[in-house]
Structure 1
């Protein structure tokens, strides 16, 4: 999606946000003198900022130590953001853009106890429909399945992987594990789709601010339309899209 246009900003608001960001990143209570040293803000101005942020509940000042920590108001904001965090609504515009760019079906899936399940499909242009519908469970050897096998750490998914790959030879199992290592580094996965012949897929993870896997977006289409390695132009576009989408949930790569 297009980045918002840069315009005039309120400098004092930026400074205030910078103070909040500093305390959050330090991860410990900070005294007035420490904040002053780290921000280089004059003592008179810093006092005004800290007093304003404390009165609003965004920061909390311990009466005994005088140290500042994040306040309850930020917790309220975080809870409100979480409650309103409808992942599908947020990612749908990106999926529509990817569909128009790739001319292929775009899927979003989440993890269930039975494996990755499609919960959203976008195919508004001339994308090829592989017959995968909302509610379809995807196999581990699909690009989508590989994303979950790589980034989701849970006993349930370990059991799913073992079950899915029970008939795989030792050599192919080694290759699968090596491929997962590459996926973890590159944050993009490829596969010749096991569900339909002559169809390939490429998938990338959607992370939240803790780098927890929210789900995976997959592009599925005729093999000649789908990239097979990260150096291709379409792969680079998808990698950029991946980072932009995860950034909307607070993830910083």
Structure 2
């Protein structure tokens, strides 16, 4: 019978240090110089170099012979792709909105992107006598829904411009957004705050909502978490407990999906993974 290693719970310190060096490259935006890697790994350059040599031998790191800069190697890519293949983003999203519902006792929902705009794929009912029922499987508009505004703020314009133009053409006279200039101003405000709150001019009367983006391992928006409540009954203000809980839940889910963004307040990203029906 194999006896357990007495030191198994202690781990291998040298491996942990080596992976901390690799983690610096994972979090970087591209190839790095030795001195910069050492600085971010909080170790002398000579020590960082020794670990980089071992990481190169293992295929985790490569070094450009022309510049001497270091970057992630083919084995690191294989690990990343294998991890991504094991992630079920929708399942994780459904678990996240369920936990959030339990935390704030408000209706929560999960939206993904489709060819026709955002689609609500699931909602969770709170434990209270009067609630908001969210219709699943139906596309919602971009300018008068929380999920639509969030997707519009972080998707590239080529993915949203046609839908936005069509919505502008049928906006009511009292709507606050009437022109593309109005749209750009509103979306810039959302990106600055990293989250959206909408009450007036929501597509459903007497209803208010919050929305926060969820990013994937490429730091691209992939889903939106939504909180929905009744005006006058739910506190969904910009400094409410629900707002803070939603922000934290969306950031935690983004980290689960491999995002390395520090928070949602980032510039417009370049792509989203669309799934059939979502």
Q: Name the TM tier (shorter chain).
A: 0.7 to 0.9
Native 8 Å contact 2:104 2:245 kept in 1: no
Name the Cα RMSD after superposition.
Answer: 3.1
| Inter-partner Cα distance in structure 2 for 1:198 and 1:112 | 27
Shift in alpha-carbon separation, 1:50–1:216, aligned structure 2, 3 A: same
TM-score (ref. length: structure 2) = 0.74
Shift in alpha-carbon separation, 1:47–1:195, aligned structure 2, 3 A: closer
Equivalent of 2:150, from 147, 150, 156?
A: 147
| Inter-partner Cα distance in structure 2 for 1:105 and 1:191 | 15
1:135-164 Cα distance to aligned partner (Å, 9 max, x none)? 111122111111112111132411101112
| Inter-partner Cα distance in structure 2 for 1:78 and 1:225 | 45
Native 8 Å contact 2:125 2:133 kept in 1: no
Aligned twin of 2:192: 185
Name the structure where helix makes up a greater proportion of residues: 1
1:15-56 Cα distance to aligned partner (Å, 9 max, x none)? 21222133442722646x87668754474x556533432332
Aligned twin of 1:231: 239
Aligned residue pairs, count = 244
Equivalent of 2:207, from 199, 211, 233?
A: 199
Aligned twin of 1:71: 73
Equivalent of 2:219, from 189, 211, 223?
A: 211
Native 8 Å contact 1:202 1:227 kept in 2: no
| Inter-partner Cα distance in structure 1 for 2:198 and 2:210 | 6
Aligned twin of 1:98: 100
Query: Shift in Å at residue 247 of structure 1?
Result: 1.9
Native 8 Å contact 2:105 2:126 kept in 1: no
| Inter-partner Cα distance in structure 1 for 2:90 and 2:161 | 26
Shift in alpha-carbon separation, 1:139–1:8, aligned structure 2, 3 A: farther
| Inter-partner Cα distance in structure 1 for 2:60 and 2:219 | 25
| Inter-partner Cα distance in structure 2 for 1:89 and 1:123 | 17
46-55 vs 60-69, which moves further: 60-69
Q: Is 1:252 the counterpart of 2:265 in the alignment?
A: no
TM-score (ref. length: structure 1) = 0.80
Query: Shift in Å at residue 60 of structure 1?
Result: 3.0
Q: Secondary structure of the equivalent of 2:59?
A: coil
Structure 2 residues not aligned, in runs of 5+: 1-8, 263-278
| Inter-partner Cα distance in structure 2 for 1:165 and 1:103 | 34
Equivalent of 1:173, from 172, 178, 199?
A: 178
| Inter-partner Cα distance in structure 1 for 2:50 and 2:161 | 53
